[in-house]
Amino acid sequence: QAVLAYNALAGQLDEMGVRLSIDDFGTGHSSLHYLQQFHVDYLKIDRSFIGRIGTESLSEHIVDNVIDLGRRLGLSLVAEGVETEHQAAYLRGKGVQYLQGFLFARPMPLRQFCRKLTTAERYTPAVERATQALNADVFAQPGLSRDDAAELVAIVARLRKDAGDFADPRPQPEA
């Protein structure tokens, strides 16, 4: 019954444009069972696998299989904990759409994040990194006001208009 309630809510959220992800995929409670039961849009590959890219072939095989699974299920992929250019290049080469981690930015307060987005020059690494950082859990920050949320939404809309290649890579339904 809880699964039915979740799926009904997920459908309503989807209609509003809210996208859902399975965080830390491949560890702990993030199991394949969730992919069967719940509607999700993104798989976030756990940092414990990403951190071993280039040092351990087993982890690279696991990452490759998660990427393949995500593709077969039509899900977008987010790699957590990207810290080196080697990891970023490996993941981009495998077609991972979103990268997040210290390579791009350290955690920062929302207002500072918004300032970085609005002052960065178009098509620079700063814009790319800030746009990818949108996958960070900024909305999970306690005390996020409606004004802050509205400001962030406006900035994202401007970025998507100015830099279409950073927009949602999933096919959009025909009007």
Among all residues, which ones are annotated catalytic?
Answer: 80
Q: Which two tokens stand for residue 46?
A: 């756990």
Kindly list the strands in the beta sheet with 42-45, ordered across the sheet, starting from the edge strand earlier in the chain.
Answer: 21-25, 42-45, 76-79, 98-99
Distance CA 104, CA 50 (A): 15
Identify the CA nearest to 141 among candidates 114, 168, 175, 104.
Answer: 114
